[in-house]
Chains A and B, each alone.
Chain A
Amino acid sequence: MGMYLQLLVIGLSMGMIYAMIAMGIVLLIRAVGVLNFAQGELFMMGAYVTFALSVQLSMPLWAMLIVALIIFCLFGALFMFSVYWPLRKSTWSATIIISTLGASTVIKEIAKIIWGSVPVVQPPIIKGVLELGTVRLEYQYLFIIGIGLLLIVGTFLLFDKLYIGRVMQAAAQDKYSAELLGISTVVTTMLTYMISASLAGIGGWLVSPLFLVSTSLGSFMLKGFAGMVIGGLGDVKGAVLGSLLIGVIESFSTLFTTTYKDAVVFLVLIIVLIVRPQGFFGQKISEKA
């Protein structure tokens, strides 16, 4: 029994991490209609930046968080102006996809040049283990779930309740009319990129104490993708639920198969797509011709 509880908690917290990546991608898809293949590297960058601030510059937690958030936002803006902005007029979506693939290599290499190819260690927020009967969990997992929940709720509130969020949504849905209404789509797009980079960065910060800070953190992105697709491409709520599902499936699939674990996760993705080609929460609209 204890084992199942442990697997469930681990699965949920991994799901939260995937959700942070997936939400970032969904926000970008809604705002600019572009798949970002560099989201995993933004995630990895989050781990490195927080490592640099908290270990190399030994900042206290609160200061580190503030500075890190500012850096994430700047990074998001930089990312937008280098990868998306020059290509926004391109009529061919493949060019932007390739450009993000190029960007992912660039970010990875920059990290390698600055911090080296040897993984580094990031201390957890609170070191220690929670013991409940036979269940043993590092506190970091609880932090992941807690902070993850906060961010998810925060993103919902932003887009559903706050004015700025609605403006961003409006701009995302119809650029032309939004411009007519006096909404600057440059600003809203930039804000979206900033939020997206921050979500990924915080995710990277949260997992790094568990899995070390290394360039291989970027590989978390594929699971985030899977979660997002299961949820339905343009839907934040769907992305979160899909990611949690992926995390739990992944955790429990280890009971049956270890070698084919990744295959199981992606097989579930394909099955979901076949049964519901638009994902669980996606609306049935055909792509713009």
Chain B
Amino acid sequence: MKKKINTNTLILGGVSLVALLVMYLVVPSVSSVYMMTVLNGAIIFYVACLGITVMLGMGGMVSFAAISFMGIGAYASANLSLKLGVPTIVSMLGAILVSMLAALIIGAVLLRLSGTFFTFSTVALVQISYSIFTNWKEVTGGPDGMGGISTFEFFGVKAVKPNENYMVLLTVGILCALFVLRLKKTNLGRALSSVRDNEIAAKIMGVNVYRTKLAAFVIAAALAGLAGSLMVHNHHFVAATSFTFDQSTTFVIMAMLGGVSNPFGVFMGTVLITMLPEWLKPLQEYIRLVYGLGVMLLMVFMPMGLWGLFTGWVKKLKAKFKIGHKVMIGISSTKEG
């Protein structure tokens, strides 16, 4: 048994090394500039969607608030780098800090609500934040937005072209994905899952439900704020029209499509939704219709998303070839209550 795992690990190790090489070296060299831009946009959304993995996938809370914190992070970054001229890394950390602080205050209030009421309060939050982003001229530039924000620059090295931005975004994306994977194994992650599966039972077991949820909310906000900061440095421009309720529903759909409980599933969902209009170009005016129908069918046939489908296959294959040990990431471990 022990030996088997070792060979498996070896193969997987090799594959993942190749994967990394491909992502860092091959993709940028074969993709067109346009492709790189689309991919960059997808990675930015992906980081924000990871927050939804924490909230919905791990904590079972439907929240539309990601876009608000993305906006807060974006404007924090824009102000820091435009008005104070701080380096990129400081502006990114600042964005994370500001959105975490905002989430701590807002979350402390909203998380006193349960279930559907909480979901609604996040919808209200998105409307309020959108109003503020459009109208608070001193901080957000009002409807004109803010332009001329510096590009990514680390230790004197500047990213100018889309494929250089891609390197930065990819690295941040992978780090965030690893962070979320790790989070699942921590006490907080376990507490969160127990709250999701049965809140009352969790309470009896001694989990502080309110604090656990608040921690998840703040972490999700940190990821969204980071995404906002990435967006600002990637586009060099920020405007309130990027932070609408529609966009936040798209985030939830991206996460659900891929399979909300797994970072890789979310990645598939994000890329798919971003690429869909591209692949369906000949359909022109029917694109959004197909998209809507797709979402409905998806919920019926694979509610756990593409990742759920994939792990289902893996399970079957393993049963067939009698590969011994239990499935690593299965639907079984993400039963919803």
Do A and B contact each other directly (Cβ–Cβ < 8 Å)? Answer: yes
User: What are 26 A-B pairs with beta-carbon distances under 8 A?
Assistant: A35-B116, A37-B249, A87-B300, A91-B336, A92-B336, A94-B56, A95-B256, A98-B295, A102-B291, A103-B296, A229-B117, A259-B134, A260-B132, A260-B135, A263-B132, A265-B127, A267-B124, A273-B117, A273-B120, A274-B112, A277-B112, A277-B113, A277-B117, A279-B117, A289-B198, A289-B201
Which stretch, A105-113, A141-149, A172-180, A206-214, touches the partner chain B?
A: A105-113
B206 adjacent to chain A (CB < 8 Å): no
B200 adjacent to chain A (CB < 8 Å): yes
Whether the Cβ atoms of A106 and B292 lie closer than 8 Å is: yes
Known: A91-B336, A225-B120. 13 other contacts (CB 8 A): A29-B116, A86-B300, A95-B256, A98-B252, A101-B252, A105-B289, A109-B289, A226-B124, A262-B128, A263-B132, A270-B109, A274-B112, A287-B114
List, in ascending order, chain A residues with CB within 8 A of B298's CB.
Answer: 102
| Cα distance, A180 to B302, chains bound together (Å) | 32
B294 adjacent to chain A (CB < 8 Å): yes
| Cα distance, A287 to B200, chains bound together (Å) | 10
| Cα distance, A51 to B245, chains bound together (Å) | 28
Whether the Cβ atoms of A102 and B114 lie closer than 8 Å is: no
- Given A229-B117, A263-B132, are A113 and B299 also a contact pair (CB < 8 Å)? no
List, in ascending order, chain B residues with CB within 8 A of A260's CB.
Answer: 131-132, 135
Interface residue SS majority, chain B? helix
| Cα distance, A103 to B297, chains bound together (Å) | 10
List, in ascending order, chain B residues with CB within 8 A of A96's CB.
Answer: 299
Whether the Cβ atoms of A35 and B119 lie closer than 8 Å is: yes
| Cα distance, A83 to B296, chains bound together (Å) | 7
List, in ascending order, chain A residues with CB within 8 A of B291's CB.
Answer: 102, 105
Whether the Cβ atoms of A113 and B112 lie closer than 8 Å is: no
* Proximity bits, B98-131, A CB within 8 Å = 1, else 0: 0000000000011011111101110111011011
A54 adjacent to chain B (CB < 8 Å): no
Whether the Cβ atoms of B112 and A225 lie closer than 8 Å is: no
B288 adjacent to chain A (CB < 8 Å): yes
* Proximity bits, B264-299, A CB within 8 Å = 1, else 0: 000000000000000000000110110111111011
List, in ascending order, chain B residues with CB within 8 A of A35's CB.
Answer: 116, 119
List, in ascending order, chain A residues with CB within 8 A of B135's CB.
Answer: 259-260
- Which 5 pairs across A and B sit closest by C-beta, in order of nearness? A102-B295, A105-B292, A106-B292, A266-B124, A263-B131
Give the interface of A toward B (CB within 8 A).
Answer: 29, 35, 37, 82-83, 86-87, 90-99, 101-106, 108-110, 112-113, 222, 225-226, 229, 233, 259-260, 262-263, 265-267, 269-270, 273-274, 277-279, 286-287, 289
Give the interface of B toward A (CB within 8 A).
Answer: 56, 62, 109-110, 112-117, 119-121, 123-125, 127-128, 130-132, 134-135, 198-201, 245, 249, 252-253, 256, 260, 285-286, 288-289, 291-296, 298-300, 303, 335-337
- Given A103-B292, A225-B120, are A95 and B303 also a contact pair (CB < 8 Å)? yes
CB distance from B106 to the nearest CB of A (A): 9
Whether the Cβ atoms of B121 and A287 lie closer than 8 Å is: no
List, in ascending order, chain B residues with CB within 8 A of A274's CB.
Answer: 109, 112
List, in ascending order, chain A residues with CB within 8 A of B249's CB.
Answer: 37, 101
CB distance from B141 to the nearest CB of A (A): 15
Whether the Cβ atoms of A233 and B117 lie closer than 8 Å is: yes
List, in ascending order, chain A residues with CB within 8 A of B201's CB.
Answer: 289
Whether the Cβ atoms of B292 and A104 lie closer than 8 Å is: yes
List, in ascending order, chain B residues with CB within 8 A of A98's CB.
Answer: 252-253, 256, 295, 299
List, in ascending order, chain B residues with CB within 8 A of A265's CB.
Answer: 127
List, in ascending order, chain A residues with CB within 8 A of B125's CB.
Answer: 266, 270
List, in ascending order, chain A residues with CB within 8 A of B134's CB.
Answer: 259
| Cα distance, A62 to B152, chains bound together (Å) | 65
Q: Which residue in A91, A102, A263, A273 is a CB contact (below 8 Å) of B128? A: A263
Whether the Cβ atoms of B292 and A94 lie closer than 8 Å is: no
